């Protein structure tokens, strides 16, 4: 009798894990664009809002702290940090495999690294300081690096560089990005679902502040950093054909 | 036949055992479990850095010690942490105004003592570094200190047989990455704890003070402890202690970091333990002797106009008072720490 109860408890547990605790796999793809043109490093000239030419030589940023909202009103938090780098194809596809199977209507994440992870000492993986997204003299991660060449820039070599970071007020550059999924995305354990995001670099250079390369070609500490952060807060959109 | 095989094996094992015993470790440098146990000195507050995510073990500590004294961490293999941070000077750089780094380049700041680091909430004279573990990235990558990239240090370590062995021993697998390098260094520097000076023994009623030392302590408590708070002799705040800015260095201290008006030309209050041997003094090493420091505090006419209000309250000190403060400061020297064998460089004495 006793053993029967034990066996049925075990069976029920196994079943419920199978039914309710099932993880699905979701892949987020980050496509980098300048307006409607695909980003190509170094060799292709693009134009900013003011018609000034520029090329991009480096584009890297952190995304972390994902929240997925399900159609039943659940909020699933995924506490992971990823470093996306234009120069590394694989980094532009991130895999989330701790998401319970379900129907999702929207999600959000932050561009940056939260204060907890900024204050956690030596770390490895995406947050390893060897990734060169780290300020040594003023401890903290650089959230986004955009570098390139612009003939209008007045800096030596006509370069521009925006290294944006800072998790403390008044120069907090963490920005929350919310994405509404036009139609529900159903995830399950059997196949990997994909969501494609369009990341428009032009948005870093405009709205609310239009950046003129001849006036602001370098941001490497908190001076002007929030200005760029306000700009980049709208650079992520769902890829149009996904809507 | 079978006997012969066993016999040969036995001989071989005996030889191997003998060979091994020739490289006996010098017991002076041996690090035991007891050596790496974190003991919070009586009367000290809770530390900020607790080793919680960096479990103290003899093997990791030994790895940290080797790294601290290894020139491999610099680009041309000439400078180690120990070059600037000398044990005999409580890990400050004795008799050097400004730090001397790679290619004989001169830095912009005086090398501070490394002691009681786990009670600090931020490091460097301006508090720019908020993690003990991440601090070494500064000297390693600074073009005037070690001028090396973290990436390249990792590559050098991976290519070095001895380090492969040491990392393996410390972490039970062969992975060598920056997290492990930095954590090992933090074990070594984090255990640099000084709390056995004459002052401590006096406080715990194990030693006595002379009249001058007693009066000095009294004066210190009324005039200095507002910033140099016992028992660590710092309240971890940033202040302007009345020294005028060196116009050739133009060091704005904390202000450069925060760009907040009141932070300009303030510096982190240094803990004064072992101050007898950490000369020269101040962030730019401008004062050679403790006497000069005390004279500075007493000479209010010459104080910077941004001096903290507590500085202006010190007032003029008599010759007698100056002597008493000085004799008190000398009670902060901790010989046990300065000669602690755990922090000695094994390569120096072998």
Interchain CB distance below 8 Å, B178 and A121: no
Residue of A115, A118, A121 best to disrupt the B interface, most CBs of B under 10 A: A121
Q: Given CB atoms, is B255 within the 8 Å cutoff of chain A?
A: no
**Cα nearest neighbour of B51 on chain A:** A121
Q: Alpha-carbon distance B241 to B255, whole Å?
A: 15
Helical axes B58-68 vs B178-190, angle rounded to 10°: 90
Q: Given CB atoms, is B182 within the 8 Å cutoff of chain A?
A: yes
Q: For A194, list phi and psi in degrees, rounded to 5.
A: -120, 140
What pLDDT score was predicted for residue B350? Answer: 44
- Taking the CA of residue A119 and the nearest CA in chain B, the distance in Å comes to 7
Least confidently predicted of A234-243, B40-49, B82-91:
A234-243
Helical axes B319-330 vs B290-298, angle rounded to 10°: 140
The secondary structure of B140-168 as a DSSP string is HH-TTTT---HHHHHHHHHT-HHHHHHHH
**Cα nearest neighbour of B141 on chain A:** A136
Q: With 0-12 CB in 10 A as exposed, 13-18 as middle and 19+ as buried, what is B302? A: exposed
Q: Alpha-carbon distance A174 to A143, whole Å?
A: 8
- Taking the CA of residue B108 and the nearest CA in chain A, the distance in Å comes to 14
A128 vs B contacts (CB less than 8 Å): 177-179
What pLDDT score was predicted for residue B148? Answer: 75
Q: How would residue B103 be classed by pLDDT, with cut points 50, 70 and 90?
A: low
Residues of A with CB under 8 A from a CB of B: 119-124, 128-130, 134, 136-140, 222-223
**Token pair listed for A187:** 């995830």
Identity of the residue in B133, B137, B259 whose CB atom sits nearest the CB atom of A136: B137
Interchain CB distance below 8 Å, A121 and B54: yes
Contact B181, B67 (CB under 8 A): yes
Q: Is the peptide bond before B231 cis (omega within 30 degrees of 0)?
A: yes
Query: CA angle, corner A44, sides to A40 and A49, nearest 5?
Result: 95
CB count within 10 Å of CB B210 equals 12
B124 vs A contacts (CB less than 8 Å): 137
Interchain CB distance below 8 Å, B183 and A121: yes
Interchain CB distance below 8 Å, A121 and B137: no
Interchain CB distance below 8 Å, B178 and A129: yes
Determine if the pTM surpasses 0.80: yes
Percent of chain B topping pLDDT 70: 89
What pLDDT score was predicted for residue B65? Answer: 97
Does B175 have pLDDT greater than 60? yes
Contact A48, A211 (CB under 8 A): yes
Sequence-distant (≥ 6) Cβ neighbours of residue A16 within 8 angstroms: none
- Taking the CA of residue A137 and the nearest CA in chain B, the distance in Å comes to 6
**Cα nearest neighbour of A169 on chain B:** B258
Identity of the residue in A123, A134, A140 whose CB atom sits nearest the CB atom of B179: A123
Q: Tell me, what DSSP letter sits at residue B88? A: G
Interchain CB distance below 8 Å, B128 and A121: no
What is the ipTM metric for this complex? 0.81
What pLDDT score was predicted for residue A5? Answer: 78
CB count within 10 Å of CB B21 equals 8
B186 vs A contacts (CB less than 8 Å): 121-122
- Taking the CA of residue B293 and the nearest CA in chain A, the distance in Å comes to 28
What pLDDT score was predicted for residue B16? Answer: 54
CB pairs under 8 A between A and B: 60
Interchain CB distance below 8 Å, B129 and A123: no
Q: With 0-12 CB in 10 A as exposed, 13-18 as middle and 19+ as buried, what is B205? A: exposed
Interchain CB distance below 8 Å, B134 and A130: no
- Taking the CA of residue B36 and the nearest CA in chain A, the distance in Å comes to 20
Alpha carbon of A241 to those of A70, A96, A214, A233, B202: distances in Å? Answer: 22, 22, 36, 22, 77
Find the mean pLDDT for residues B320-337. 98
A122 vs B contacts (CB less than 8 Å): 131, 133-134, 178-179, 182-183, 186
A138 vs B contacts (CB less than 8 Å): 128-129, 257
The residue extents of the domains of chain A are: 23-242
Alpha carbon of B112 to those of A182, B125, B281: distances in Å? Answer: 58, 8, 9
B179 vs A contacts (CB less than 8 Å): 122-124, 128
Q: Which residue has the higher pLDDT, B323 or B26?
A: B323
B137 vs A contacts (CB less than 8 Å): 129, 134, 136
Bridge-based pairing of strands A159-165 and A218-219 is parallel
A223 vs B contacts (CB less than 8 Å): 259
Q: How would residue B249 be classed by pLDDT, with cut points 50, 70 and 90?
A: confident
Which of B71-85, B189-203, B238-252 tops mean pLDDT?
A: B189-203
Q: Given CB atoms, is B137 within the 8 Å cutoff of chain A?
A: yes
Identity of the residue in B130, B177, B178 whose CB atom sits nearest the CB atom of A139: B130
What pLDDT score was predicted for residue B13? Answer: 59
Q: For B267, list phi and psi in degrees, rounded to 5.
A: -135, 160
SS3 of B184, please? helix
Find the mean pLDDT for residues B70-88. 90
Q: Alpha-carbon distance A83 to B85, whole Å?
A: 35
CB count within 10 Å of CB A176 equals 12
**Mean residue pLDDT across chain B:** 91
Q: Given CB atoms, is B138 within the 8 Å cutoff of chain A?
A: yes
**Token pair listed for B208:** 């006595």
- The parts of chain A modelled with pLDDT lower than 50 are none
Helical axes B319-330 vs B211-223, angle rounded to 10°: 100
Does B63 have pLDDT greater than 90? yes
Residue of A131, A136, A140 best to disrupt the B interface, most CBs of B under 10 A: A136
Identity of the residue in B129, B179, B259 whose CB atom sits nearest the CB atom of A122: B179
Express each pLDDT in B16-26 by its tens digit: 555 444 455 68
The residue written with tokens 């180690």 in the block is: B80
Q: Given CB atoms, is B40 within the 8 Å cutoff of chain A?
A: no
């Amino acid at each position: 009798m006793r053993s029967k109860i034990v066996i049925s408890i075990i069976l029920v547990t196994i079943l419920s894990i199978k039914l309710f605790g099932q993880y699905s796999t979701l892949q987020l793809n980050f496509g980098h664009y300048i307006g409607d043109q695909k980003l190509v490093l170094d060799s292709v000239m693009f134009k900013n809002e003011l018609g000034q030419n520029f090329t991009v030589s480096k584009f890297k940023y952190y995304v972390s702290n994902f929240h997925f909202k399900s159609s039943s009103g659940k909020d699933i938090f995924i506490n992971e940090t990823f470093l996306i780098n234009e120069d590394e194809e694989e980094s532009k596809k991130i895999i989330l495999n701790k998401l319970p199977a379900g129907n999702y209507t929207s999600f959000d994440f932050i561009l940056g690294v939260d204060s907890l992870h900024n204050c956690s000492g030596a770390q490895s993986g995406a947050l390893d300081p060897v990734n060169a997204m780290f300020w040594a003299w003023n401890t903290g991660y650089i959230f986004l690096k955009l570098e390139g060449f612009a003939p209008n820039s007045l800096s030596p070599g006509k370069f521009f560089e925006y290294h944006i970071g800072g998790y403390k007020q008044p120069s907090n550059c963490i920005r929350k990005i919310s994405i509404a999924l036009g139609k529900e995305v159903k995830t399950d354990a059997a196949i990997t679902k994909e969501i494609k995001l369009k990341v428009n670099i032009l948005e870093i250079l405009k709205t609310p502040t239009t950046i003129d390369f001849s006036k602001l070609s370098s941001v490497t500490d908190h001076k002007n950093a929030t200005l760029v952060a306000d700009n980049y807060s709208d650079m992520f959109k769902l890829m149009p054909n996904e809507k | 036949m079978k006997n012969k095989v066993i016999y040969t094996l036995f001989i071989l094992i005996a030889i191997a055992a003998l060979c091994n015993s020739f490289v006996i470790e010098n017991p002076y440098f041996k690090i035991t479990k007891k050596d790496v146990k974190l003991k919070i000195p009586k009367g000290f507050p809770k530390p900020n850095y607790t080793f919680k995510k960096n479990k103290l073990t003899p093997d990791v500590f030994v790895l940290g010690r080797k790294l601290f004294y290894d020139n491999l961490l610099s680009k041309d293999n000439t400078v180690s942490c120990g070059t600037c941070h000398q044990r005999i000077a409580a890990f400050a750089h004795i008799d050097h105004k400004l730090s001397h780094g790679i290619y004989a380049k001169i830095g912009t700041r005086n090398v501070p003592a490394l002691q009681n680091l786990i009670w600090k909430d931020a490091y460097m004279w301006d508090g720019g570094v908020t993690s003990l573990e991440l601090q070494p990235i500064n000297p390693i990558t600074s073009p005037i200190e070690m001028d090396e990239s973290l990436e390249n240090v990792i590559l050098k370590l991976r290519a070095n047989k001895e380090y492969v062995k040491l990392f393996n021993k410390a972490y039970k697998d062969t992975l060598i990455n920056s997290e492990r390098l930095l954590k090992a260094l933090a074990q070594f520097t984090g255990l640099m704890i000084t709390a056995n000076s004459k002052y401590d023994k006096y406080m715990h009623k194990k030693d006595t003070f002379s009249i001058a030392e007693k009066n000095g302590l009294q004066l210190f408590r009324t005039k200095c402890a507002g910033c140099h708070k016992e028992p660590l002799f710092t309240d971890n705040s940033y202040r302007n202690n009345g020294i005028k800015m060196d116009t050739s260095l133009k060091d704005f201290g904390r202000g450069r970091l925060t760009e907040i008006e009141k932070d300009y030309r303030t510096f982190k209050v240094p803990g004064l333990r072992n101050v007898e041997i950490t000369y020269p003094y101040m962030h730019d090493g401008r004062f050679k002797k403790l006497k000069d420091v005390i004279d500075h505090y007493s000479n209010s006419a010459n104080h910077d106009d941004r001096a903290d209000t507590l500085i202006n309250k010190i007032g003029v000190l008599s010759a007698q008072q100056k002597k008493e403060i000085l004799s008190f400061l000398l009670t902060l020297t901790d010989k046990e720490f300065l000669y602690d064998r755990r922090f000695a460089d094994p390569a120096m004495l072998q």
